[in-house]
Amino acid sequence: MGKQAMGTIGYNQRNRIDTLMYLLAYPQRPMVKTKTIELIDFEKLPAGQNATVAVMSYSGYDIEDALVLNKASLDRGFGRCLVYKNAKCTLRRYTNQTFDKVMGPMLDATTHKPIWRHSILDADGICSPR
């Protein structure tokens, strides 16, 4: 189900106008290709990760669609994804030759640290994710 997978969505993923985008950190090409995949060149844009799966009964009361994962593989980055959220601001030029400008945080003159109101801003003036 490549259409439901989370992988590389396109070559223009950094220039898209989507407001929310999920991107797989380590996408892989499929191990098995079909004729359709070859016709549409789908293997050039990886759409998931290859996983080794053992189908077996874990206990007598298994849950349908349950998954047991190895912690070491999760620590190494299996299934890790990035979430890109798009934010925009409008900067204007005014008639008196002034203009809006996105700046970094104001620094205190004595300590050279950001003032308390600007402590959440990065050096580019945009809020940092926490």
* Catalytic residue annotation: 65
Residue 23 near residue 84 (C-beta atoms within 8 A): yes
H or E segment to which residue 39 belongs: helix 35-39
Question: Strand (E) positions, 17-118?
Answer: 20-24, 81-85
Question: Strand (E) positions, the chain?
Answer: 20-24, 81-85
d(CA 38, CA 50): 18
Q: What is the dihedral of CA 96, 97, 102, 105, to 10 degrees?
A: -80
